[in-house]
């Protein structure tokens, strides 16, 4: 089983990467760094919470694991 610390570390790094990508996309599409950054930050917060919950659910499922 994966530890909570590992799950949170993975989620944090993944969301940081997503935040940077979304900020660049938002800036490119809107022409505004603050609007693009705000959209990216909102997405990162929601995505982080969703990812942590998703990973913790899958950590409890034994299907597909080898011994």
12-65 confidence digits (pLDDT tens): 898 899 889 999 999 999 999 999 999 888 988 898 899 889 989 988 998 888
Report d(CA 11, CA 8) in Å as an integer. 5
Cα-trace Rg, the chain = 15
pLDDT at 29: 93
User: What pLDDT, on the 0 to 100 scale, is given for residue 20?
Assistant: 92
Note the pLDDT of residue 4.
84
CA angle centred on 55, ends 50 and 58, rounded to 5°: 125
Across residues 3-19, what is the average pLDDT?
87
Reading the block at residue 33, the tokens are: 């760094």
| Contact (CB, 8 A) for 23 and 40 | yes
Residue in 43, 57, 36 with CA at minimum distance from that of residue 14: 43
Residue 51's pLDDT is: 85
pTM over 0.75: no
């Amino acid at each position: 089983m994966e530890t909570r610390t590992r799950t949170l570390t993975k989620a944090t790094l993944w969301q940081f990467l997503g935040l940077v990508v979304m900020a660049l996309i938002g800036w490119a599409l809107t022409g505004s760094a603050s609007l693009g950054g705000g959209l990216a930050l909102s997405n990162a917060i929601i995505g982080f919470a969703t990812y942590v919950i998703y990973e913790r659910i899958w950590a409890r499922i034994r299907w597909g694991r080898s011994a």
